[in-house]
Amino acid sequence: MRDFDNDDGHMLFGGMRAEAIAERFGTPVYVTDENILRENYRRIYNAFSKHMDTRVHYACKANSSLAILRILEQEGSGIDAVSVGEVMTSMKAGFPASRILFTGNNVSTAELRTVADLGVPINIDSASELERLAGIDTKIPISIRVTPDVGSGHSEKVVTGAKGSKFGIPADLVVETYGRALELGFRPFGIHAHTGSGGQTPEPLMDVVSVLADMTNAIKDEHGLDLEVIDMGGGMGVPYRPNEREMDIEELASAVTDIILDETSVRTVALEPGRYLVCDTTVLLTRCHDVRYTGTKNYIGVDAGFNTLIRPAFYGSYHHVAVANKFNRAGEGKYDVVGPICESGDHIARDRALPAPEEGDLIAVYNCGAYSFSMSSTYNSRPRCREVLVNNGVAELIRDSETIEDLWRHQMIPKRLS
Ligand code: LLP
């Protein structure tokens, strides 16, 4: 887990006191450090590209804020998009269609048509999708997503590659599906799999590349088709807890590219990191408004609930928390950090050793760059919060908070009820 500097008891983030950022922009607020984002991109791209031609397709479901996308576009990234919304948002941020790969799941023919019309390459997810796309356009570049029968992930909710998964072509049907694609007039350029998200060990990612290498060779033997790209998906883990080990990206890149270069004639590897690029770039700053001692539990009541950060409530995920204005002060008791949502599952953190809290304290929640703002909601009619980008001590607003009026914007009351 990435930790932050301490300036005389105050947490520093991106060269600024976290308290100064919270005072200026209000809370709750997501704050991203641009330098960390750029470093993360360069680290993973360089690890792979020193071995072979590499395409990084950022899985923008993790965080699709325009400023974040802009930075990754500048770095040379591509995009893994799962919806027309993600495709168009990426294009708005400056990505050309050719650097986006659309990997939908159970998408409608209308959505496929829109994506094809935008000229975005499509990663086929099912036999049905292949037949439906053939009715639209067979000249569009395609790859095919397979179920590798290798799964990984921090929760069963995010394992995608295991046998029987709803994602991809079942392993035993892959070779014949490439045959069908050729028969329909497509010329697939690649093969793709994604094991799942948030696993902490590299082994499943190495295993999946072995499976894809074998399939690539079987496709070549059967159909004489030389694939150009093996796409290993995302799932590169990030440590969320203090002292948790980082995934060794250098070792992963070396192992994966060895498999591809030694066992196949493919010369381009693609990867789709989401969490790895953005997770540790961002903290959520949330203000303590309420402190209560119940006899059995001590609560720090803050202004971010599971409307703002759903991962702890939804997956039971651990996010490290610290008191930014009592930074690195020893814990004086155990506290649950809870939000304003009217459900008892509204937890940000449980049983954490923290300095004695007071109303007005500022709580920093770590590792909130991935699947955090992008999964936030307006539940309990609480408008979504702001996002701020920090660059070497300069903070800028990149998304304003929604207003109460925004909550009503797309609603109407039938005349007869007025
Ligand atoms: N590629 C595909 C096809 C995916 O479905 C995903 C994530 C990724 C790449 C990126 O995976 P990553 O590198 O970020 O692990 N909301 C969950 C995570 C869901 C991930 C869904 N797919 C969470 O908060 O942990």
Q: What is the CATH number of the domain that holds 398?
A: 2.40.37.10
Strand order in the sheet with 10-13: 6-7, 10-13, 16-17
Atom of ligand 1 nearest to the CA of 154: 25
| Boundary residue ending a domain (275, 300, 324) | 275
Q: Tell me the CA–centroid distance for residue 411 and ligand 1, in Å.
A: 32
Strand partners for 192:
145, 231
Query: 105 with 66, same domain?
Result: yes
CATH number at residue 86: 3.20.20.10
Query: 235 with 382, same domain?
Result: no
Q: Tell me the CA–centroid distance for residue 274 and ligand 1, in Å.
A: 6
Domain count, the chain: 2
Q: Tell me the CA–centroid distance for residue 64 and ligand 1, in Å.
A: 13
Which of 40, 61, 122, 143 best tests ligand 1's pocket when mutated (most atoms within 8 Å of CB)? 61
Atom of ligand 1 nearest to the CA of 237: 15
Average pLDDT in the chain: 97
Nearest CA to ligand 1 atom 9: 234
**Residue 10: pLDDT over 90:** yes
- In DSSP notation, 75-140 reads HT-EEEE-SHHHHHHHHHTT--GGGEEE--SS--HHHHHHHHHTT--EEE-SHHHHHHHHTT-SSS
Q: Residue 417 falls within a domain, yes or no? A: no
Strand partners for 285:
29, 364
Confirm or reject: Cβ of 346 under 6 Å from ligand 1: no
Query: 133 with 165, same domain?
Result: yes
Average pLDDT over residues 290-304: 97
pLDDT confidence bin for 324, thresholds 50/70/90: very high
Q: Who contacts 94 (Cβ-Cβ below 8 Å, separation ≥6)?
A: 69, 70, 73
**Residue 199: pLDDT over 90:** no
Confirm or reject: Cβ of 198 under 6 Å from ligand 1: yes
Confirm or reject: Cβ of 233 under 6 Å from ligand 1: yes
- The domain in which residue 357 lies consists of 6-32+279-408
Nearest CA to ligand 1 atom 20: 197
> How many Å from the N-terminal Cα to the C-terminal Cα in the chain?
55
HEC assignment per residue over 346-366: CEEEEEEEECCCCCCCEEEEC
Q: Tell me the CA–centroid distance for residue 8 and ligand 1, in Å.
A: 38
pLDDT at 354: 97
Q: Residue 237 falls within a domain, yes or no? A: yes
Confirm or reject: Cβ of 205 under 6 Å from ligand 1: no
CA neighbor of 383 nearest in space, from 314, 308, 309, 310 = 308
Q: Tell me the CA–centroid distance for residue 168 and ligand 1, in Å.
A: 15
Strand partners for 363:
286, 323
Query: 55 with 25, same domain?
Result: no
Query: 260 with 325, same domain?
Result: no
Q: Where are the alpha helices (DSSP H) in 264-307?
A: 275-278
Cis bond upstream, residue 28 (ω within 30): yes
Write out the catalytic residue numbers. 342
- Token match 């004639």: residue? 265
Confirm or reject: Cβ of 390 under 6 Å from ligand 1: no
pLDDT at 150: 87
Q: Tell me the CA–centroid distance for residue 60 and ligand 1, in Å.
A: 9
| Boundary residue ending a domain (275, 293, 309) | 275
Confirm or reject: Cβ of 196 under 6 Å from ligand 1: no
- Token match 């004489």: residue? 224
Residue 246 is classified by DSSP as P
Query: 255 with 283, same domain?
Result: no
Confirm or reject: Cβ of 384 under 6 Å from ligand 1: no
Confirm or reject: Cβ of 235 under 6 Å from ligand 1: yes
Average pLDDT over residues 248-252: 96
Query: 114 with 249, same domain?
Result: yes
pLDDT at 328: 80
379-418 pLDDT, tens digit per residue, is 999 999 999 999 999 999 999 999 999 999 999 999 999 8
- What's the sign of the alpha-carbon dihedral 343, 344, 349, 355? positive
Atom of ligand 1 nearest to the CA of 275: 14
354-377 pLDDT, tens digit per residue, is 999 999 999 999 999 999 999 999
